[in-house]
Amino acid sequence: MLSMKNISKVFKTDLVETHALREFNLEVNEGEFVAVTGPSGSGKTTFLNIAGLLEGFTQGDYFLDGVNISNLSDNKSAAIRNEKIGFIFQGFNLIPDLNLAENVEVPLRYRGFNAKERKRRVQHALEQVGLAARMKHLPSQLSGGQQQRVAIARALAGEPRFLLADEPTGNLDSMMARQVMELLEEINKAGTTIIMVTHDPELARRAQRNIQIVDGQVCDFTMYQGGERTIEKPHLVTGSQEPSNQDKVAS
């Protein structure tokens, strides 16, 4: 479903060149729940931004659902983001002036759904996250966990093929984080592919696959099943390069 081949991303200023991603290779299959871990500055967010078509890349090929993403116009990128991708952010990123229903409705507006369809989808999405009764509330009237659930509802309302979550539990206490994680697992079970960036190894273990990014490269991945590590195999970043730190993600 998602295929990145030799993706590089270089940020340039007059003085320095920063390689955020180097020859980055990744395949994500439909229905997978992939956790992305790695130290700060390793390139996790850059990867997520490129995956979500929020940023372009310097080199390489990126196929999403069989579509070559390289050199897409802004309008086409926006349409793909709107139809196929749902975003969940660490800071929730709800629009403070809009109530919950209006927040969830935003992507549906851009997609051109009529009022009836928008209302149906908003209702359904908020029911999925257990907040249908509070749809007229403003985000500021909700707890952090509830706000994140609204953000998830917003991401789900467009019925995307996959969700990109950037530290979705980073601003939540452990109980709230667990609730959000359970919600994401339910969504994944319903068939939505999820890629989640996290610092929390506990949460990472709950994903089916754990990818570690170091210095802009996938250095390792581990498969889990039912919270237990089942497969561990080295991942070739390039044709010739052998991974050197595969043990770092051992449970």
| Chain positions contacting other proteins, by CB under 8 A | 45, 49, 52, 54-55, 74-75, 78-79, 81-83, 86-87, 89-91, 93-95, 97, 106-107, 109-112, 154-155, 158, 166
CB of 187 to other proteins, least distance (A): 16
Nearer to other proteins by Cβ, of 106 and 132: the residue is 106
Nearer to other proteins by Cβ, of 151 and 183: the residue is 151
CB of 225 to other proteins, least distance (A): 32
At 139, list the tokens. 């985000």
Nearer to other proteins by Cβ, of 46 and 222: the residue is 46
d(CA 157, CA 109): 11
Nearer to other proteins by Cβ, of 78 and 236: the residue is 78
CB of 81 to other proteins, least distance (A): 5
Nearer to other proteins by Cβ, of 109 and 189: the residue is 109
Q: Are strands 33-37 and 193-197 parallel, antiparallel or unpaired?
A: parallel
CB of 172 to other proteins, least distance (A): 16
Structural contact between residues 243 and 235, judged by C-beta atoms closer than 8 angstroms: yes
Residue 87: C-alpha distances to residues 12, 27, 49, 127 (Å): 27, 19, 10, 19
If we measure between CA atoms, which residue out of 230, 197, 228 comes closest to residue 212?
A: 197
Nearer to other proteins by Cβ, of 107 and 216: the residue is 107
Exposure of 212 by Cβ count < 10 A (0-12 exposed, 13-18 middle, 19+ buried)? buried
CB of 73 to other proteins, least distance (A): 9
Give residues with Cβ within 8 angstroms of 219, minimum separation 6. 212, 213, 235, 237, 243, 244, 245, 246, 248
Residue 8: C-alpha distances to residues 21, 61, 188 (Å): 5, 9, 29
CB of 60 to other proteins, least distance (A): 18
